[in-house]
Chains A and B, each alone.
Chain A
């Protein structure tokens, strides 16, 4: 655990850093957006965190913020540091870390496509995976994939002859797939139970009358 303490000391120089030792070999660091590059530079320069494992983006739509998470790994310290920072959702601009980590090229381009965050200084801010896509960035929480699919495609429902026969006799599927698909929230078990209860009550009523 000595090594991990040294990381604490390195990052002391930066203002507003929260360091959390989550478990062995995992450290979470929260910084303000301004000092993110400083933190990564310090980590790379003084503690040899040379491997950028990933950059993840999380869309916190209720807070109006994007969270960017830089996962860096040190081959010498054998430790993974996740540096968290938050940026404004409306502005959606941030500085690139390409000059520090070359793999950032791929991840930043990916986030640019999927979330629309522009990275200043990243070499290839262009479409890569979604070249045939013309809508809003699809990973945003505003984008409703299901309704887009409903409006664009039609797919074959599974409706074989034996099921149609059953339905004519008054049976069939208890919860139709459309009901699960189209309701915004998942059709969870409680409603299923309520429905069963209702059915039972109806049965009881019918029996009584």
Chain B
């Protein structure tokens, strides 16, 4: 349940009278060119090749597959997420550059789907990552996938008015909540190489809920990442 947050963000007052126009123009451009990292976590991945290739042709919407997380805008989670995969999904998500969007495909990402009984799969994806759009179905047809992507595009385009296309900010604003759920599943010694708190400070998205007992736990065990020592030995 989302509460109304007291946001102590940096002053968002814009002095330029044309700021709104520029903001709208930027979000319009963003919505027209999206690179999509599709993480094949489950069965839903089988409907993506038809959606991407000639029959349904996602590319006409300006959406293209991308193979690395750092250049991608959308993280597509295609199907149930086992606990082992969820760790990698979170690592992938944190490596992506903001603004970033998450789409959960298949019923399994919504509430566990037909694997509600399974000990190995995580049930609700939005407990661990902020999800922009869910596409339910087992599995959703390519038309549904494209419909969902359209909705994401509209959300991004109208973000200033409707505030729907910026779920990624929620990850910084309520990091303690997400981290708590992650720790519940992976154990208290869970740590990722990305420093989310520092990033939140950088973006000016710190709130009261960024911190909490879970982040305290993280700070206790967190080791700073040091560059690895390079040793190269040539063959004699």
Task: Indicate if A touches B (C-beta under 8 A).
Answer: yes
Chain B min CB distance to A180 (Å): 11
Interface 0/1 of A106-145, CB less than 8 Å to B: 0000000000000000000000001111010010000101
Set of chain A residues within 8 Å of B122, measured between Cβ atoms: 153
Set of chain A residues within 8 Å of B186, measured between Cβ atoms: 132
Interface locus among B36-44, B71-79, B89-97, B112-120: B112-120
Say if the beta carbon of B83 comes within 8 Å of chain A: yes
Given known A-B contacts A131-B84, A132-B83, A155 and B117 have beta carbons under 8 A apart? no
Interface size on B, residues (CB 8 A): 17
State which of B112, B116, B118, B120 has its C-beta within 8 Å of the C-beta of A133: B120
Say if the beta carbon of B185 comes within 8 Å of chain A: yes
Q: List 7 A-B contacts (CB under 8 A).
A: A131-B84, A132-B84, A132-B186, A133-B83, A149-B118, A152-B184, A152-B185
Q: Are A132 and B87 in contact (CB under 8 A)?
A: yes
Chain A min CB distance to B135 (Å): 15
Say if the beta carbon of B124 comes within 8 Å of chain A: yes
State which of A143, A145, A154, A181 has its C-beta within 8 Å of the C-beta of B124: A154
Per the bound structure, the CA–CA distance linking A153 and B116 in Å amounts to 9
Set of chain B residues within 8 Å of A130, measured between Cβ atoms: 120
Say if the beta carbon of A162 comes within 8 Å of chain B: no
Chain B residues near A (Cβ < 8 Å)? 83-84, 87, 110-112, 116-120, 122-124, 184-186
Per the bound structure, the CA–CA distance linking A68 and B185 in Å amounts to 33
Tally of A-B residue pairs with Cβ under 8 A?
44
Q: Which residue of A lies closest to B85 (CB)?
A: A132
Chain A min CB distance to B122 (Å): 7
Given known A-B contacts A131-B84, A132-B83, A154 and B118 have beta carbons under 8 A apart? no
Interface size on A, residues (CB 8 A): 19
Q: Are A155 and B112 in contact (CB under 8 A)?
A: yes
Per the bound structure, the CA–CA distance linking A31 and B208 in Å amounts to 67
Per the bound structure, the CA–CA distance linking A133 and B118 in Å amounts to 13
Chain A min CB distance to B182 (Å): 13
Chain A min CB distance to B129 (Å): 15
Q: Are B112 and A145 in contact (CB under 8 A)?
A: no
Q: Are B117 and A153 in contact (CB under 8 A)?
A: no
Given known A-B contacts A132-B84, A132-B87, A155 and B119 have beta carbons under 8 A apart? no
Q: Are A145 and B110 in contact (CB under 8 A)?
A: no
Per the bound structure, the CA–CA distance linking A146 and B123 in Å amounts to 13
Given known A-B contacts A131-B84, A132-B83, A132-B87, A155 and B116 have beta carbons under 8 A apart? yes
